[in-house]
Structure 1
């Protein structure tokens, strides 16, 4: 019986998800937003999703966001400046402020600029920055036609 349990133990543990990904707002690690997903039981399809806000030394807080399908955790991150952040997973939206580590009770509706997305890619949960598009170049000859 003991050999049977030892053989099955890696199989039981391998299906669990418990990982995280971070976005560093200051690039140095003193101001970060981290999404953590954790599957409580190997037989469960759901994972609890938490946001950990950290702006050291003033703020550090963990907020429970939702319970989502473990393999489908995909959360978009938006910034509206002044340490105001919006996170969106499908139709669920959360707005937080990392100056004082608070979550707004009501969503303001304005998301701000896209920063990136937390998602699983190639089996690894990570943060992927939003693609920044360069402003369009003026049409050729448009500068010469402009009045001086």
Structure 2
């Protein structure tokens, strides 16, 4: 193989690798409850640029006591996660996250996250949304 062909082959491989990595995505946003050590977070990751879905981690974080995450795979990239603060009729204080008509109880008291079998009767006060903004950033936007 001539030197020029090897050079072109190497350049092509580097360009292909760069393209395959250019679409990788990892970002996160937080709803702060009490300072930087007590929050509900959402992280998103996407392995390949051609995917239109992401993997979501719902995170209950209260340090130094606990941190827990629940992974939800193959979520449409532009899907918003709505966060609610329901009436406190539950065993412990929770927030409710809604994602694509699925509902999740998030407790930072026990750092547990679990899916509801059906939609709760009263979602409570809408706190805000985790979503991708028009400029591509992922952030928590508080309700007005």
**1:1-148 correspondence runs (5 A):** 1-26=9-34, 28-70=35-77, 72-80=78-86, 83-104=93-114, 106=116, 108-121=120-133, 122-131=135-144
Question: What SS does structure 2 have at the residue aligned with 1:48?
Answer: strand
Paired position in structure 1 for 2:6: none
Question: What SS does structure 2 have at the residue aligned with 1:86?
Answer: strand
Q: Is the 8 A contact 2:60 2:112 kept in 1?
A: no
Deviation at 1:109, TM superposition (A): 2.8
Q: Taking structure 1 as the reference length, what is the TM-score of the superposition?
A: 0.77
Return closer, same or farther for 1:42/1:105 CA change in 2, 3 Å cut-off: closer
Q: Which runs of 4+ in 1 moved over 4 A?
A: none
Higher relative contact order by CA 8 Å / sep ≥ 6: 1 or 2? 2
Q: Taking structure 2 as the reference length, what is the TM-score of the superposition?
A: 0.79
Deviation at 1:33, TM superposition (A): 0.9
> How many matched pairs?
129
Q: Flag structure 1 segments of 5+ consecutive residues without an equivalent.
A: 132-148
1:87-132 CA-to-partner distances (Å, cap 9, x unmatched) read 112312111211001234535432121111001111101111111x
Question: C-alpha distance in 1, partners of 2:36/2:55?
Answer: 24
